[in-house]
Structure 1
Amino acid sequence: MRVLFVTGGGQATVFSLAPLATALRGAGHEIFMAANSDLMSATEAAAIPAVSTTDLPIRHFISQDRQGRPVPPPLDAGVTEQGVFTGRWFGRMAAASLGVLKEFTAAWRPDVVVGGTMTYAAPLLARHLGVPWVRLAWDAIDATHVHPGADEELQPELSELGLAHLPEPDLFIDVCPPSLRPAAARPASPMRYVPANRQRQLEPWMYTRGDRRRICLTAGSQVTRDGHHKLFEFLTRTVAELAPLDAEVLIAAPDGLAADLREACGDVRAGWFPLDVVAPTCDLLVHHGGGVTSLTGMYFGTPQVIVPGAEMLADAAERLAGYGAAVTLKTGEDAPDAVGAACREAVSDVSYVTRAQALRDEITAMPSPNQMVGALAALAHR
Structure 2
Amino acid sequence: MRVMFCVFPAPAHFLPLVSYAWALQAAGHEVRIAAPSGQDTGITSVDFDRVVTATGLIPAVCGEPEPLAVHDRGHPGWLDLLPTEAETARFSKVLDLDAAGLHVWEMFHCFQVLAARDYHPPKPRQDVLALVDFAVEWRPDLVLWDPWLPGGAVAARVSGAAHARVLNAPDYSGFVLDRIARRRAEGVDVPEDPLTATVRPLAEHFGLTLDEELLLGQWTVDPFPDGLRLPSRVPSVSVRNVPFNGAAPAPDWLHTPSDRPRIGLSLGVSVRKFMKGDWGRTAKLLDAVADLDVDVIATLDKNQLADRPAGVPSNVRTVDYIPLNQLLPTCAALIHHGSTGTFASATAFGVPQLICDTDEPVRCYGKPTEDGIEWRFDCQKQLTATETAEVVTRHGAGFRIDHQKQSAEEIRDRVRRVLEEPSHAEGAAALRRGWLATPGPTEIVGVLERLTAENRA
- State the partner residue of 1:24: 24
Secondary structure in structure 1 of the residue aligned to 2:342 = helix
Q: Provide, for residues 155-198 of structure 1, a one-character-per-residue CA deviation record: whole Å limited to 9, x for no partner.
A: 323445211554332232221134x3447355522211112122
State the distance in 2 between where 1:155 and 1:111 align. Answer: 24
More displaced, 354-363 or 339-348?
339-348
Q: Is the 8 A contact 2:300 2:321 kept in 1?
A: yes
Secondary structure in structure 1 of the residue aligned to 2:172 = coil
Q: Is the 8 A contact 2:343 2:388 kept in 1?
A: no
More displaced, 5-14 or 145-154?
145-154
Q: Is the 8 A contact 2:356 2:400 kept in 1?
A: yes
Which of 143, 156, 164 is 2:172 aligned to? Answer: 143
Residues 5 and 209 of structure 1: CA distance in aligned 2, closer, same or farther (over 3 Å): farther
Question: After the TM superposition, which residues 311-322 of structure 1 pair with which residues of structure 2 at under 5 Å, given as runs?
Answer: 312-322=384-394
State the distance in 1 between where 2:59 and 2:449 align. Answer: 21
Which of 87, 90, 98 is 2:128 aligned to? Answer: 98
Quote the offset at 1:250 in angstroms. Answer: 0.8
State the distance in 2 between where 1:259 and 1:206 align. Answer: 25
Letter in 2 for 1:157: L
- State the partner residue of 1:375: 447
Identity across the alignment (%) = 25
Residues 73 and 239 of structure 1: CA distance in aligned 2, closer, same or farther (over 3 Å): farther
Residues 306 and 257 of structure 1: CA distance in aligned 2, closer, same or farther (over 3 Å): closer
Question: After the TM superposition, which residues 1-382 of structure 1 pair with which residues of structure 2 at under 5 Å, given as runs?
Answer: 1-35=1-35, 36-37=37-38, 38=45, 39-53=48-62, 61-62=70-71, 64=73, 66-67=75-76, 69=78, 79=103, 80-95=105-120, 96=125, 97-138=127-168, 141-144=170-173, 149-159=194-204, 160-163=207-210, 165=212, 166-178=214-226, 180-182=227-229, 184=231, 186=233, 187-224=235-272, 227-231=274-278, 233-253=280-300, 264-267=311-314, 268-270=316-318, 271-308=320-357, 309-310=381-382, 312-329=384-401, 333-337=404-408, 338-382=410-454
Residues 59 and 315 of structure 1: CA distance in aligned 2, closer, same or farther (over 3 Å): farther
Residues 156 and 305 of structure 1: CA distance in aligned 2, closer, same or farther (over 3 Å): same
Q: Is the 8 A contact 1:82 1:312 kept in 2?
A: no
Q: Is the 8 A contact 1:90 1:150 kept in 2?
A: no
Q: Is the 8 A contact 1:66 1:92 kept in 2?
A: no
State the distance in 2 between where 1:347 and 1:74 align. Answer: 44
State the distance in 2 between where 1:369 and 1:312 align. Answer: 23
Quote the offset at 1:105 in angstroms. Answer: 1.9
Secondary structure in structure 1 of the residue aligned to 2:215 = coil
Q: Is the 8 A contact 1:65 1:92 kept in 2?
A: no
Secondary structure in structure 1 of the residue aligned to 2:216 = coil
Gaps of 5+ in 2: 39-44, 89-101, 178-192, 358-380
Q: Provide, for residues 238-257 of structure 1, a one-character-per-residue CA deviation record: whole Å limited to 9, x for no partner.
A: 11111232221111245887
State the distance in 1 between where 2:240 and 2:317 align. Answer: 31
Secondary structure in structure 2 of the residue aligned to 1:280 = helix
Q: Is the 8 A contact 2:290 2:313 kept in 1?
A: no
Residues 134 and 175 of structure 1: CA distance in aligned 2, closer, same or farther (over 3 Å): same
State the distance in 2 between where 1:313 and 1:298 align. Answer: 15
Q: Provide, for residues 314-372 of structure 1, a one-character-per-residue CA deviation record: whole Å limited to 9, x for no partner.
A: 22332332222231245x63542254343233323221110111111221222121112
Gaps of 5+ in 1: none
Q: Provide, for residues 218-272 of structure 1, a one-character-per-residue CA deviation record: whole Å limited to 9, x for no partner.
A: 1111354x94234374223211111232221111245887899897214322221
Letter in 2 for 1:163: L
Residues 258 and 289 of structure 1: CA distance in aligned 2, closer, same or farther (over 3 Å): same
More displaced, 281-290 or 236-245?
236-245
Residues 245 and 322 of structure 1: CA distance in aligned 2, closer, same or farther (over 3 Å): same
Q: Is the 8 A contact 2:263 2:294 kept in 1?
A: yes
State the distance in 2 between where 1:42 and 1:235 align. Answer: 28
Q: Is the 8 A contact 1:84 1:146 kept in 2?
A: no
State the distance in 1 between where 2:137 and 2:389 align. Answer: 43
Letter in 2 for 1:364: L
Q: Which has the larger radius of gyration?
A: 2
Query: TM-score scaled to structure 1, two decimals?
Result: 0.86
Query: TM-score scaled to structure 2, two decimals?
Result: 0.73
Residues 161 and 190 of structure 1: CA distance in aligned 2, closer, same or farther (over 3 Å): same
- State the partner residue of 2:188: none
Letter in 1 for 2:172: A
Residues 265 and 202 of structure 1: CA distance in aligned 2, closer, same or farther (over 3 Å): same
Quote the offset at 1:212 in angstroms. Answer: 1.3
Secondary structure in structure 1 of the residue aligned to 2:338 = coil
Letter in 2 for 1:281: T
The size of the alignment, in residue pairs, is 377
Quote the offset at 1:43 in angstroms. Answer: 0.6
Letter in 2 for 1:34: A
Secondary structure in structure 2 of the residue aligned to 1:272 = coil
Q: Is the 8 A contact 2:172 2:230 kept in 1?
A: no
More displaced, 286-295 or 187-196?
187-196
State the distance in 1 between where 2:147 and 2:338 align. Answer: 17
Secondary structure in structure 1 of the residue aligned to 2:439 = coil
